[in-house]
A and B are shown apart, each in its own frame.
Chain A
Amino acid sequence: MSSNVFGVSKRVSLTLAAASAALALAACGSSGGSTGSSAGAAGTPVRGGTLTFAINSDGTCLDPHQSPADVDGFFARSIVDSLVALSDDGTISPWLATSWTVSPDQKTYSFVLRDDVTFSNGEKFDGAAVKANLDHIVAPATKSQLAAGTIATYTGTTVKDPTHVEVHFSAPNSAFLPSLATAYLGIEAPSTLTKPPSELCSKIVGSGPFISSGGYVKGKGIDYVRNAKYNWAPKNAKHTGPAYLDTLSIRSLPEDSSRYGALTSGQIDAIASVPPVNVAQLKSTPGFRIQTAAAPGGNYNYYPNTAKGPFADVKVREAFRAGIDWATIVDKLYFGVFPPGKGPLSPATVGYDTSIESAYRYDAAKANQLLDQAGWTGRDAQGYRTKDGKRLTVVHPFLKQFAREQRDVVADQVQAAAKQIGIEVKTTNPEYTSYIKDVAAGNYDLIDFSWQRASPDALRTLFGSANIPKDGFGTNGSRLSDPALDKDFTDALGTTDLTKQAALYGDAQQRITSAAAVFPIYVFNYVLGSSTKVQGLRFEPQAFPLFYDAWTSK
C-alpha cells in the first residue's frame, strides 16, 4: 500500500539533493523476487542482542492510520499487529484473527479473534478494539491519507462478542484482506485512539513484538525494546514467542555515502537502499551481505497521455515503446541492481503475466515504420519528425527536486533516445503545485512515477477510469478509459478466488499492453546491506524488512 508516487516518502525528505529523496523503504519489496539467500538460515537464533538499522528517509507521522509514507508504515510495523498476515504468494494467514469468512455478496467479512492478546499498555485486545481502529481510520478528523482510501467503501463494524466481529462494506472489496495485512490498517490500543492525531504522530501503542516508549523523533529515528509478553506472531513467521532482539534502533541517514560508510565501518549493522554503484563492492566485501527484494505493484513507469496530444494515437505510443532501448538505459545506469520493467506490473506481483513481456522489446525499425504510418513523415532542420509542418513533440513535466535513484538521468537518456526516432521530448521542471495542477488538467504528454502495492489491484489504481486525474493528482496517468478494463477490475474485486483474480488481471495486462498505455522503466528492488552477523532479516510481501525473526550472532 505504499503509495509512493515519486518514491519520495510523501512529504518527507526533499532534502537537498536528490540523493536523499529517498525512499527507501519505499515500498518495497516483496520477497517474491527475492534474490538474496534467506539470510540467517545458518545457525540457531540467539536471544538478546541489538540491531541498528539505517534508512535513507525521514518519517513524518508515526501513526500509520494517518500517514501515507512508506517509512512511517515501516516504523509502525514493529509496534502494531494486524488482523491477518499476507504471504508472498498472495495467500492470507491468521494473526490477531484466527479465522474469517466472507459473505456470499462479498460485502461482509466476519472475523474470529484471539482472546489472549494484550496491548503493551495492558489493554486487552477484543472486538471493540477492532471496531475502534477501523472507525478511527475512516474518521475525517484522522485525515488519513492512505489507510482510509483502501477501505473507502467501509460502512461499519458490528461487535458480536469480544471475539467475533463483522466488518461491512457497501461494495465488494477483495483487496480488503491484503490491505488489512499492512501496517496502515494495524491495530493500535483503543484508549490511545482518542488522543489528538498530532500526539499519535510521535507515539503509538500496539500489541506488536516491539515497544517504542520514546516514539519517533524527527531527524533521529526510533528506538524499540522487545515486548517480552509477545506470544501471538502471525502464522507465516519463522518462530513464535517474543522477538530475538532485545533492542532495535532505526536511524535516518539520508546521505547515501554516509549511510554506506557507516555500515562498512561497522557503526551500524544494516542499511536500506545500498546505492546501486556500491552493491557489487559490498557483495565482495567479507563480513557483509546484500539482500534484495523486488517491490510488487507498478514499476517505475512512464505513462503517455492517451487522451490528447500526439500520444492519443496508439501508433505513436507503440513507436515510442519500441523505438527506445529502455532495457539498455536501465542496465547501464543501475548496474543490474534494478532490472528493466517488462510490463505495467513488477514481476513480484501476484498475478503477473509473463506472456506480455515480448511486446516491450526494442525495435527501432518497427518504431520508424509506425511513425510513418501515423503520418509523421516530414523532418525538420533538427531531424525531428513533422506532420503538416508541426513537430512531433511530447511534453514531460518532471519533478527534478523529488527525483531519486537518478531518475533525472533516465529522463535525459530517454530524451536523447527519442530524438533518434525523431520525437522531441520536452522535459520541464515545474513547481510542485503547478505540476499537480497540470496533471489534474491533463496538460502533459508523459508523466512518470512508481506505485508499489502488494496486490495486482494496483492495476485498477493505475488504469481504472475512476482514477483519471480530475481535482488533484490521480493515479491513472495514461488517462486510459476502457469499459472492458474497468469490468475486469470490478469483477476481480468481487472475487477472493486467487485463480479467478489471476485470469482477470491477466486479461487487464493484455489490454493495457495492446493499448501501449505504459512505458515500463525499472523494477524497484529493495536493496538491504548488512553485516553477516545480522541473521533472519526477511521482507514482508509489501516491502518492508521485518525484525521479528531477526537476531544477531556474537
Chain B
Amino acid sequence: MSILANKDTRAVIIGGVAGVNAAKRMAQFDFLINKPLTIQAFVYPPEAGQQKEIFRGGELNNIHVYGSLTPALQEHPQINTALIYIGASRGYQAAKECIEAPNIKLISMITEGIPEKDAKRLRKLALQHGKIFNGPSSIGIMSAGECRLGVIGGEFKNLKLCNLYRAGSFGVLTKSGGLSNEAMWLCAQNGDGVTSAVAIGGDSYPGTDFVTYLEMFEKDPATKAVVLIGEVGGSLEEEAAEWLGAQKRRIKLIAAIGGTCQEVLPQGMKFGHAGAKEGKKGAGSARSKMNALREAGAYVPDTFGGLSKAIKQVYQELIASGDIKQEAGIDEALLPQLPPSVQEVMRQGEVVVEPLIRTTISDDRGEEPRYSGYAASELCSKGYGIEDVIGLLWNKKLPTREESEIIKRIVMISADHGPAVSGAFGSIIAACAGIDMPQAVSAGMTMIGPRFGGAVTNAGKYFKMGVKEFPNDIPGFLAWMKENVGPVPGIGHRVKSLKNPDKRVRYLVDYVKNETSLHTPCLDFALEVEKVTTAKKDNLILNVDGTIGCILMDLDFPEHSLNGFFVLARTIGMIGHWIDQNNQNARLIRLYDYLINYAVKPERPVPEKK
C-alpha cells in the first residue's frame, strides 16, 4: 500500500529535457516492478509534435509531446497526475492549468526558483480545487513497488539496494530531495523499507505540509511508522508535533531536524534551503521543533547519525508487537536486470555487430581528422598542399612532388570558363533568384554531364582501353569506338580547331611531356588519335577534357575519380560567380521575349471538359 502515487498513477510531464530525463528514470522503475509505463505524455510548446523515446527495459516507447495540456488530456484520459519541470517564469501558469484540469488529482512541481507569491497562490488554488499540490523544488514521490514520480530513488542499482521494488512499513517525509533518498536507504537498512516517500521541497512556502501526508499515512494500513526529516524555519514540524500529540495515533513518528548549528553561528548568518530561516525569538528553530516533537511522543535523535538506531528500534518494537510480520522477501536475484546498451555490451566483448558502412580513406575518431592515416595538421606542417589531400582522399596515395604539380595545374586551368557556360550560368540564374550559396552552386553542378564537363572520365577510360587493346592501331580503335560508343569522348571542340588551338591543352601537354618525367602512354595514344581525326576534320582536336582524362589515367587515378577534377575545379568558379552576383546585389532575371522562339499554338478557346 501507499499514499499519493500507486499502480494506477499515470502522469503527464510539463517541461523539456529535465522532464524527459525524469521520464527515463521513471520508466526504469516501471520496468523493475513490471508496471505499464507511468508516463503518458509530455507538454512542452517549443517541441510540440515531437516524440520522445522512452525505454521501459528493452521496450521502446514513443511518447508524444503536446503544445498544451488540453489535447494531451483528451488523448490520454487515464492521466491523473502532473509533474512540472518547466522553467520558473512559466511554472505558475503551467501548474495552474494542471490544478484546474478535472482529471488531474496530484500535481508535483520539481521546478526550483518559483517566486514565493506564485507558490502561495498555487497552494491556495489547490486547496480550493481539493487537489494535492506538492513542491515546488520537490525531487518527487516514490511508492515502493507501485509508482515513481520524478528522479527520486536515483539510479537503477539504488532502487534495488533500497528495496523499492516492494513495499515496506515506513513512510518518509522530507523537505530535501537528497535526504529523501538517504531516508529510504536507512529504512531499507534498519527496517523493512518504505511504503511511500514524499519530498515536499525546501522553499519557504511549500504547496503542502507534513500534516497532510501524516494524515494519509495514518490511513494507510501498510504504513506503521513515518520517518520525518525537517529543518529550521517555518512551522511545518511544529504542526506535525501538534498533530501527533492531539490524539492517539496508529503510526509511530521518527524525526530528525536540521539546523541546530545556527545556535552557535554569528547572528544573522543562515544557510541551506530558502525556507530554512529562523523566526523571531527562536520560533522555528531546530531546537524548538525537536522539543515539540519529543513532547508529542516522536522519536527524535539528537543528530542525524542517531536516525539509524531510532529506525531499528522502532522496527524491532513493531515486530515484537506483531504490527509487522516478517515475510520472506523477494529474491533479489529474480529481479530484472536493466538491459545494457549496445555500446556497453560491445565494450564487454559479448556481442558482434556487422557494420553498416565501411570507409577506407579517413577517420576523425581521434583528436583530429586523419586522411589515409596521416594527421591533417601534420600534413600542413610538413609542407603538403591541397593536391596531396586530393591524392590521399581520391587515390589513397601521396603524390610525388612532380605529380602534385600536375594535379595543381589541372585544377587551376579548369576552375572557371566565364559566365556563359551551362554551369556558371546555372549558378548565376540561381544567385539572381536569391538562392543561397550551396543550392546555387549545386544548380550549376547539375549541368555537369555528357555535354558539359562530364567527358573526362569517359575520355580517360576509352583512351586507356585503346592503349591496351589497340596499341599501334589507331584506325582499329576509331572503328571500334564508332561501332560501340559513337564520337570519341575527349575529341572535338565547338570553337577551337587546329588553326585556333586551345592554349590550355597545349600548355598542359607541353608541361607534362617536357617538364616532368611522367610516363604518358594514354596521352601519347590520344595525341596519335588526334592526328588521325584532325586529318578528317579540322576541329576534331584533343580537347581539354580528353587531355586531362589521359593525364589523370597516366597519374594512375581511379577511372571513376576523373570527373571529380572538373567538379572540384569548377566549384571554385561557381562559388566565385555566386559571390560576384551577391556583391552586386543582382536582380532577378528572366529571358527577353526576343530570345525565345514561341513556336506554340495560337490562342484558342478551351473546350468543355468531356
A binds B: no
